[in-house]
Chains A and B, each alone.
Chain A
């Protein structure tokens, strides 16, 4: 049975309008900041509409640095320990450091970016735990803890942090009792929050979020768990600019 002309006249322009809105929105948004896992709501009074790489907190000896702090290329990674893509990228960065780290060309700096809306409670707790490892065993213990955590845990809120965090601490030789006290002390909450705020201020809206800094201070944003070959190409490009 034929549709009435009135129904035909309504559906056609409606479909065109809806489709046009979507396509226009896609074009507009595709030209904007990098797409995101999640628009993290920052703990600040105003939400920045777009990040600024120059807002990145300068790298200092107080950071968690792997490799030569004075390396010509620094890769500052903002990471969520429950994020499966951060887990992948952690392996990629280990591979990077096996090559470029040993030659002193690249330093890897780890900062926290827990995504509370996707990984409530656990991501922050794990960030704090890594800070406690740093407090009790220094920078080496921080990296051992983080490496082991990403190695043994499944991501996406599947980790029993009450069991796993102390277990890893014990495995790497930390005092369990002191570790447990540190975990509940709250002393690193502000530090983790500062890292998170800085990630957002620089334009991070998903994890892993990395900034590659050249010797001249030029910064390149790197969003997501990009493959080793891409990171390598970016490092080579950054090195060629010195």
Chain B
């Protein structure tokens, strides 16, 4: 099993967990980057107060996210961490030869980025892109108001993990080309 091959190694567990936590924290704090910037750089408050405020904003996962968006935000964070660990493992195992698998993995990570979103916006990235091209109303007519992108991201990440798993599980052999002479 590719999963056990990768995650029997502690560095990959630590790496996946660290990346997942970073993505989760960024996703929850994303709505208030302007506030954090102002507090960290522009406030005369103590460092302790600044840290307390930052940590308290993580509670926004309960209040500023719908149940659906909280679930897929957490799932995306976990899956991106796992995805990244498997990409790194694949790169090291095949010495950079597995370009397709790596590209697939990076694509999966990118799709996870697409799906991360806050409370009622579903996908901050896609909603912002659509707004830039004047199609913000496109999100409003969706049944889940953009939450679909989070679900799609989870699905894409799951598919990516499957592809990566197959790549990792393949034996390292050279396949002869068919000679048509």
Contacts and interface: CB of A to CB of B under 8 A. Distances in A.
B101 to A, nearest CB: 10
Interface in B108-130: 109-111, 113-114, 116-121, 124-125, 127-129
Interface stretch (A62-70, A139-147, A177-185, A223-231): A223-231
B43 to A, nearest CB: 6
B162 interface: no
Interface residues of A, number: 55
Residue of B33, B34, B50 contacting most chain A CB atoms (<10 Å): B34
A234 B34 CA distance: 13
Contact of A23 (B53, B109, B175): B109
Nearest to A38: B136
A226 B120 contact: no
A23 B106 CA distance: 9
Contacts of B104: 15
Interface residues of B, number: 57
Interface string B13-36: 000000000000010001111110
Given A85-B120, A88-B63, A26 B125 contact: yes
Contacts of B43: 237, 241
A92 interface: yes
B94 interface: no
Contacts of B100: 8, 11-12, 15
B139 A221 contact: no
B10 interface: no
Interface string A45-84: 0000000000000000000000000000000000000011
A241 B43 CA distance: 8
A21 B127 CA distance: 16
Contacts of B45: 237, 240-241
A227 B55 CA distance: 11
A230 B109 contact: no
A26 B59 CA distance: 23
Interface string A10-35: 01110110111111011001111111
B34 A221 contact: yes
B136 A117 contact: yes
Contacts of A33: 34
A83 B53 contact: no
Contacts of B118: 35, 206, 224
A158 interface: no
A221 to B, nearest CB: 5
A91 to B, nearest CB: 9
A35 B124 contact: yes
Interface in B123-173: 124-125, 127-129, 131, 136-137, 139-140, 145
A236 B49 contact: yes
A36 interface: yes
Contacts of A237: 39, 43, 45, 49-50, 53
B64 A226 contact: yes
Contact of A38 (B34, B60, B140): B140
A186 B66 CA distance: 34
B103 A223 contact: no
A39 B104 CA distance: 32
A39 B136 contact: yes
Given A2-B175, A117-B136, A18 B107 contact: yes
A125 B75 CA distance: 38
A121 interface: no
B8 interface: no
B131 A223 contact: no
Given A84-B120, A240-B45, A241-B45, A16 B106 contact: yes
A227 B116 CA distance: 20
